Structure 1
């Protein structure tokens, strides 16, 4: 039998080589393409694992904190901590900490905003006319924020510059009654409505007060806006050209007392809300390395006490804090300078001074600009060991509520506008708050503001914070940008413009938090204290945070370094235990990724227009969705490649059997049994498959290397059993058909007539009739092409899904870019195999109908007409296969994505059109063989 098989293979070398090449191409393609699919999956798994290492794996929040929008979309919003104040007790925190598998449980207690004065010095040196004995410099401030889109003017400030000597009050020596001791050793009366102010020594020795109208015209401090704040300061221009003023007037000074300087730089501060939070320092160090990020001073310690200082009846509480080196607030101050000639404040009563200064037209004298970030850095560099009462007050702490969203029909989120908070929120009557409220507090906001309920009144201790150190957030343990969960403790939320108009308004930069505690974007906590200080701060107040001070707990699970099935299961078990033990809301943040959301921000009061923004929320469970989708996609592509290979080989073996029908009929007449004839066919196929498998072993590795696909020798050796299996599966049906065929079947034509088809009157009709005459062969070719089109549709659907339909996240975008090449290679190769099967079908049709085609040529048909006939057959085959494949691909896409967006229908239509085009190109080859038909010989044989 083996000799006979070998003789048959040698005797029909052309068909044997063709079959060998078919098995070789199919086997090598199968090994390499499945290697590409495996490489794709491994690349995705590695990408997901590398980019899902985050600071914590579980986020624990008070019950009911998760909003319906978060629950519906599987998201965690940025700023989730900004409106979350308390709700978790210390006992619940200890329960979480004690659960097996918890590596780190880091609590954070949000407390509220401390209005703090940040230096914004104003340089007036160049505005001074040194030839004048007395002059007034007018400073018109303009407050700006949000990339300059919000701006508001403030009341003017005035600096009185005189060459006459000045004497200043000694604020530590009250002589009694209504008199005050001054730096010249004399006592002067306190002028009504004028306050304790410097006095100018006129020629002749008489002194006059330089009154400051703010003492007479302003109401209770802590209730007015900094836009309404104004003052008159007195400065002496000394004979040596330097400037001299009282304490706390000059921003920079040459002497230790801070009263003499080369330049006239006025000390001025902008009221900035600094968000205060309490953490457990050891847990924070283990979570993100907080202590290692300290760049000045020392880390705050868990046992740092609240400093208590008693001065008579007054008690001061100083809270230890760690201050960020980066304020994360976009706010500026621009001062427009002018000089008012002929005004001498010492000669004008305090009640007339404001009107006189306001009515006078000034001579422009330049401009000075300062920003909060620069002032904050300067404040940090100078050291914050003791901020005192004016820069770190905690008398009034303001809390901002949560943002509520309206969902627009296109899925855009629109924050519900909130009216400005009442002025009393920032300091009520008779309650001491040394700073005015921020100017942006009068803007339309996105959050409701309320005061933290603390002990207040004249008998309450004065509370302030004292910095023990400064930390740089950029020195914290880094994490992947595409797998980052909302580390709001240290990072500010930023929103990019979502359309050209918004990007142009923002100057191509992101929108950042402003100085409004009720604004949409909230700065992260800039002040960190320890949990031990919370009890002292809340002592005696009525805040519900006294019993449940913790706002959230961030949990890292032991032995988890990135997303994997094992890690996911481990984290899930710990999360379930936390929920059962505490009843708190638990979100698994392992495998999360930023998911861009579109936000429509309403216009502000101070000029900011409506903005359309893109904001990164955190999508939960992204890694799990991606890996499951990739598993499904890999399995589908694996099966499709296998099926197309079988169809391709089955067609080739069937062609070989059809070509040998007379020979097989003769063998049957000579007494060969059906089993022996079937074994002959399978034996020939097996030998061919074995040879192709051995050749494929040598081709798979270098071909994979050339295509950038990892195909090792162990995978390459699989080519031998795969080739044998493919050959046997492909040859089984033809072998059975050959074994059961009656010898008389050799006399029947290989192409049957289509009795139910009407007599065709057009070329397309004739092409359709020809395809119907060989239904099995037609369905085989169309099926191979349909599978290829379906595979390519699935790959396009997967790419679309990873870009938006499944997760809509940055991690999904990264995965789609990393797998598209390998998947496209597999899918395109499948389409090409399908097109090759179609070309083979057309070739076999031409060969089997050679006599008919010769007759048509003899009756006057030209080669061009015959070529168009074959072209129509290829077109109809392509339409049948492409449309069927597109339908199958859409069904698979709906299963993969979970929906059927209109964009996927367009993708399927495009892929189907590409499949038809490839089929038409494949039909060119068999059509070109028409001119080689031996017309005379075929007619003679017929």
Structure 2
């Protein structure tokens, strides 16, 4: 018997090769596909364990401080400390620190927007008389905003004699300091209060400069003089951030004039040894009008960038050179009026139909998007100011690689907000800017109490103790600490496992912008999503394999009915026929299993040992299928019913129905496999952590998708090839009765289109049902439709290809 079977297998080289190749492919790719889906899941888990934890784990804020946009979108904006309203006292912070499960509890308080020392920019001392007209402006990255009135002065020459000075005249003395120095506009930047020790632990930044005494402060003599003159008010120590600069520009129009200094001094009775600006006040208006009436010989306009030289709280006196470059100057005017400050509310985001709109609160130069409130008193208006702000040094935020996770540290944030054309928006040097500016300065919590009262703290950032990597155990511990804080009445957000997400919004006056916000729970969502995708891969690969084998063996059994009848006619018993069929199928299955195991071992993918048993499991199941399907003792009787339509379909239904089963499961397999994968990737890529994880899995996902498509093509091709091989006599009959090859092909294409279409439609309907059960978005139905169209065309293309080889 075995000799007969082997001879038959060898004689049917083409069919044997295709059968073994198809089975080997199934046996090999299914365990590889399952292994790759597990690799993908483990890769996501490893990425989350490594990168899922940011600077801290829990954000604690006063009760009812959560905004509407946080409630609606599950996101936290960078300006989470908001409107400087506070709500947590230093005593409550000390109580939170006592929890043994808390490693770091770093408080932060938004104190307000403060200014610093005001200085000036000197106009160029050119070699000829000129009229200078200037105006300061700033920018938000999109628009240019004038932030001063337009002023002018007339310059004659630089005087060297009994002393030296620039000879110039103007009536705008309130905007001009010494030596043609133009007062820079006041600018206001955010100051936040921190605890030096805990903030240092959280960020790794040295803030010990805040502990300096007045005597050790920079320019301590000037500070002590200010304090003595103003009744010794409290000093608010500030450390300035080194890398921040004020977006400040000056527009200068230079008009060359043909005028004589000597003539003007004589005309307006000014001594030759005195500067022209010492003219008697009674001549000011006449002299100003006279100079303005002088025509320009030449005119040039310049925009000069002062930004790199100007830092919050510590302006730098600069000089515009004759070629309109900028250099640091020596001396210059200096003013300090720091007891006036502002607070700004949170932005009032308007939410409509899942879209976010930001409207202006007040139009202006620049416009404001927050409610701004003025506080404090000017030194010029009181002898007893409430405090004086003084810079004690600087701090530097270390450069770090782009973070995958987001623990919102809005006070240091430098995440870019961009317009749709890629333009980066920048904060303006005034309160109320749409862009949440990082803190330009930090001060102490004690200073915040002086300004804000007994409950100055706006938020506390907590790092949970004893966590080495972000996994399920870490999540459980973080949730336990968070639950305890919720029970104490705080507003609590778990930010561990969060990530940045670009949020699109419409901003009045700017347009559509993309802003990186903190999306909560990204790590958990990623884990759940990829666990589900892995499970879908495993189930679909397994079910596809089982259905393919069942359909193939049904087909084989039905295809052998005619051969079995012939063997019975020449004296074979049913038992002998069944044993021959068993043996042939088992030999083919065994060869495919051996080849598959050899390929898996050669690939050396360090797969789980269980996966090596999958070919053996399929081998055992296939043998059981063989025993069940080939044990049918009743010979199929010929149906004498005359079919008026689709006679060949009904006649060969025992061969066609198994192929329809393969197409049906292929529609489900390709559609759901591809949809689950694409939806998981696209949803994950909305955040930086998810984007990184999916990029790491790019080649795995490509291979899984390729495997899916290859298995489908192989199974359908093998089935179609076998059907037409067994119908060779039918084609010869068509040719005998006068049909041409073209007529035969058209007949077969119509037939295949009908039963393939039925299979595809049923597969699509079943897929949509699974979509609802698996909670997959219906927007991906086009994937099912595209894959079903492809699977409908595949048997037609194969039919067209096979019919070209029909022997008639």
The TM-score, its normalising length taken from structure 2, stands at: 0.83
Match of 2:311 among 376, 398, 403: 376
Alignment of 1:658-737 (within 5 A): 658-661=558-561, 685-686=585-586, 688-702=588-602, 704=603, 711-712=605-606, 715=609, 718-719=611-612, 721-737=613-629
Change (3 A) 1:825 1:145: same
SS at match of 1:417: coil
Return the alpha-carbon distance in structure 1 between the equivalents of residues 119 and 763 of structure 2: 69
Once the 2 structures are TM-superposed, how far is the Cα of residue 533 of structure 1 from its aligned partner? 2.4
- Asked whether the 8 Å contact 2:87–2:458 carries over to 1, the reply is yes
Gap change, CA 1:367 and 1:8, over 3 Å in 2: closer
Relative distance call for 1:678 and 1:592 in structure 2 (3 A) is: farther
CA-CA distance at 1:42 after TM superposition = 2.8
Instruction: Identify the residue that residue 790 of structure 1 maps to in structure 2.
Output: 668
Give the 3 Å change call, closer, same or farther, for CA 771–659 of structure 1 in structure 2: closer
- Secondary structure in 2 aligned to 1:70? helix
Q: 1:848 to 1:663 in 2, by over 3 A?
A: closer
Instruction: Say if 2:184 is the partner of 1:277.
Output: no
Q: Contact (CA 8 Å) 2:369, 2:433: kept in 1 or not?
A: yes
Deviation at 1:276, TM superposition (A): 0.6
Q: How far apart are 1:859 and its partner, in Å?
A: 0.5
Kept in 2, the 8 Å contact 1:300–1:529? The answer is yes
Question: 8 Å contact 1:625–1:807 — kept in the other structure?
Answer: no
62-71 or 4-13: which moved more? Answer: 4-13
Alpha-carbon deviations, 1:648-692, whole Å to 9, x = none? 333333344334446767789999898x98787666555544443
Q: Is the 8 A contact 2:61 2:490 kept in 1?
A: yes
* Residue from 442, 445, 467 that aligns with 2:368: 445
Match of 2:438 in 1: 524
- Contact 1:651–1:837 at 8 Å: present in 2 too? no
Cα shift at 1:754: 7.4
Structure 1 residue 467 corresponds to structure 2 residue 399: no
Aligned residues: 764
Residue number in structure 1 paired with 2:690? 812
Return the alpha-carbon distance in structure 1 between the equivalents of residues 605 and 526 of structure 2: 24
Aligned residue for 1:871?
749
- Equivalent residue, structure 2, for 1:323: 240
Cα offsets for 1:382-436 (capped at 9, x unmatched): 9xxxx99966643112000011122345x4322132126xxxxxxxxxxxxxxxx
Distance 1:463 1:117 in 2: 15
Change (3 A) 1:637 1:888: farther
Q: What does residue 144 of structure 2 align with?
A: 150
Query: Partners in 2 of 1:570 and 1:679 — Cα distance?
Result: 63
1:855 has 2:777 as partner: no
Equivalent-residue separation in structure 1 for 2:747 and 2:531 (angstroms): 44
| Aligned CA distance change for structure 1 residues 726 and 332 (closer, same or farther; 3 Å) | same
1:657 equivalent among 557, 562, 572: 557
Q: Deviations 1:276-316 (Å, cap 9, x if unpaired)?
A: 1111121112111111xx8xxx6434999998955267214
Does residue 590 of structure 1 match 2:496?
yes
After superposition, give the CA deviation of every residue in 1:547-598 in whole Å (9 maximum; x if it has no partner): 2111111122234455433332232222112211x31111111222221122
Q: Name the counterpart of 2:201.
A: 286
Gap change, CA 1:162 and 1:821, over 3 Å in 2: closer
Deviation of 1:512 (Å): 0.8
2:417 corresponds to which of 492, 495, 504 = 495
CA contact (8 A) 1:622 1:807 kept: no
Contact 1:886-1:911 within 8 A present in 2 as well:
no
Counterpart CA distance in 2 for 1:461 and 1:280 is 25
Following the alignment from structure 1 to structure 2, what is the Cα–Cα distance between the partners of residues 380 and 910?
63
Q: Deviations over 1:117-140 (max 9, x none)?
A: 4656234122x42xxxxx675342
Query: Closer, same or farther in 2 for the Cα pair 1:305/1:669, shift >3 Å?
Result: farther
Question: Taking structure 1 as reference, are residues 850 and 614 closer, same or farther at Cα in structure 2, changes over 3 Å only?
Answer: same
| Alignment check: 8 A CA contact 2:87 2:455 kept | yes
Change (3 A) 1:70 1:19: same
Q: Aligned residue for 2:781?
A: 905
Separation in structure 1 between the aligned mates of residue 150 and residue 362 of structure 2, nearest angstrom: 23
Q: 1:685 to 1:87 in 2, by over 3 A?
A: farther
Contact 1:599 1:612 in 2 (8 A): yes
Q: Which residue of 1 aligns with 2:455?
A: 548
1:125 aligns with 2:125: yes
Deviation, structure 1 residue 613: 1.2
1: CA distance, partners of 2:3 / 2:101: 67
Note the residue ranges of structure 2 that are not aligned, 5 or more in a row.
218-222, 266-275, 318-330
Is the aligned partner of 1:741 residue 2:633? yes
- CA distance in structure 2 between the aligned counterparts of 1:774 and 1:569, rounded to whole angstroms: 61
Distance 1:50 1:116, change over 3 A: same
C-alpha displacement at 1:350, in angstroms?
Answer: 3.4
Residue 638 of structure 1 pairs with residue 538 of structure 2: yes
Deviates more, 1:639-648 or 1:108-117: 639-648
**1:787/1:830 contact within 8 Å kept:** no
1:113: Cα distance to partner?
A: 0.5
Conservation of the 8 A alpha-carbon contact between 2:250 and 2:306: yes
The change in CA–CA distance for 1:562 and 1:452 in structure 2 (over 3 A counts) is farther
* 3-state SS, counterpart of residue 125 of structure 1: coil
Given that 2:69 and 2:351 are in contact with CA atoms closer than 8 Å, whether structure 1 keeps it comes out as: no
Contact 1:392/1:465, CA 8 A, preserved across alignment? no
CA distance in 1, matches of 2:502, 2:640: 61
Q: Distance in 1 between matches of 2:77 and 2:39?
A: 35
Distance between the aligned counterparts of 1:518 and 1:98, measured in 2?
37
**Shift of residue 274 of structure 1?**
1.7
Checking the alignment, whether the CA contact within 8 Å between 1:281 and 1:530 is kept in structure 2 is yes
Partner of 2:78: 78
Paired with 1:799 and 1:598, the residues of 2 have a C-alpha distance of 25
CA contact (8 A) 2:19 2:718 kept: no
Structure 2 distance, partners of 1:377, 1:790, is 62
2:181 corresponds to 1:266: yes
Could you say if the C-alpha distance between residues 662 and 598 of structure 1 is closer, same or farther in structure 2, counting changes exceeding 3 Å? closer
Task: Report if aligned partners of 1:102, 1:556 keep a CA contact under 8 Å in 2.
Answer: yes
Name the structure 2 match of 1:621: 521
3-state SS, counterpart of residue 66 of structure 1: coil
- Match in the other structure for 2:425: 511
C-alpha deviation, 1:275, in angstroms: 0.8
SS at 1:598 equivalent: strand
Question: C-alpha root-mean-square deviation of aligned residues, in Å?
Answer: 4.0
From the superposition, tell whether residues 377 and 347 of structure 1 become closer, same or farther in structure 2 (CA, over 3 Å).
closer
Check conservation: 1:122, 1:370, Cα contact below 8 A.
Answer: no
CA distance in 2, matches of 1:30, 1:906: 26
Q: Is the 8 A contact 1:140 1:335 kept in 2?
A: yes
- Report the CA distance shift for 1:590/1:777 in structure 2 as closer, same or farther (over 3 A): farther
Q: SS state of the match for residue 272, structure 1?
A: coil
Match of 2:369, SS state, is coil
**In the TM superposition, what whole-angstrom CA distance separates every residue of 1:575-633 from its partner, at most 9, and x where no partner exists?**
112211x3111111122222112222212xxxxxx422111112111222122111111
| Shift in Å, 1:108 | 0.5
Contact 1:143 1:334 in 2 (8 A): yes
Following the alignment from structure 2 to structure 1, what is the Cα–Cα distance between the partners of residues 797 and 536? 27
Give the CA deviation at 1:855. Answer: 2.1
Report SS of the residue matched to 2:310.
helix
8 Å CA contact 1:120, 1:333 repeated in 2: no
Match among 399, 403, 417 for residue 343 of structure 2: 399
CA distance in 1, matches of 2:504, 2:289: 46
Are the aligned partners of 1:62 and 1:88 in contact in 2 as well (CA < 8 Å)? yes
Mapped partners of 2:553, 2:545: distance in 1: 12
Output the CA distance in 2 between the equivalents of 1:214 and 1:30.
84
For residue 281 of structure 2, what is the aligned residue in structure 1?
350
Match of 1:566 in 2: 473
| Structure 1: runs of 5 or more not aligned | 130-134, 169-197, 201-209, 216-228, 234-248, 251-264, 421-439, 539-544, 604-609, 705-709, 761-765, 934-942
For 1:185-264, list aligned pairs within 5 A: 230-231=175-176, 249=178
SS in 2 for 1:586: strand
Is contact 1:690–1:723 with CA below 8 Å preserved after alignment? no
For 2:695 and 2:748, locate their aligned partners in 1 and report how far apart those are by CA, in whole Å.
40
